[in-house]
Amino acid sequence: MTRAEIAELYGRYAHCFDEGRGEEFGELFTTTATFLRAPGAEPVTGRAAIAGLVAEARTPNGIRHLVSSVSVDDGSGDTASGTAYVQAVTVAEDSVRLVTLGRYLDEFRHEEGAWRFHVHRYEPFTGAGLRGAVLAGEL
């Protein structure tokens, strides 16, 4: 059941973040979780701080996280690890623009009766030069 629960966790992550549900987003993490946003970025630790990232990242058109290719290693007992690809975009009336493309490298713990992110690491595949690149629309 671990794999299905963690795949669902990735889905809830995307929906909570994209819909601005910061408190619910924070609950997807363990009480002592660490969120590593990008190489060299300051780690964000604890549920409240992680929940605050949602408001910090709000944009006029919103962000949509497209999570795919989820792979989970069941680990043992109350721990597991996993990875998934992510593409984040903004959607406007006439275009879809790239925010970032990369993958998540995660450690999970079963805490308070549910699987939660314990260490959430984002590894970008794209650099700043592609941020805002048009992905669809009239080119």
pLDDT digits (tens, 9 = 90+) for 67-92: 999 999 976 789 999 999 999 998 88
Bridge partners of 35, per DSSP, are: 44, 120
Domain ranges of the chain: 2-126
Contact between residue 108 and residue 116 where contact means Cβ atoms under 8 Å apart:
yes
Pairing of strands 95-111, 134-137: antiparallel
Residues whose CB is less than 8 angstroms from the CB of residue 42 and which lie 6 or more positions away in sequence, other chains included: none
Question: What pTM, to 2 d.p., does this model score?
Answer: 0.87
Question: What pLDDT shows up at residue 81?
Answer: 96
pLDDT digits (tens, 9 = 90+) for 19-47: 999 999 999 999 999 999 888 889 999 99
Of 55, 52, 50, the closest CA to residue 18 belongs to 55
- The DSSP symbol for 85 reads E
* Mean pLDDT score of the chain: 88
As a CATH number, domain 2-126 is 3.10.450.50
Grade residue 59 by pLDDT with cuts at 50, 70 and 90. Answer: low
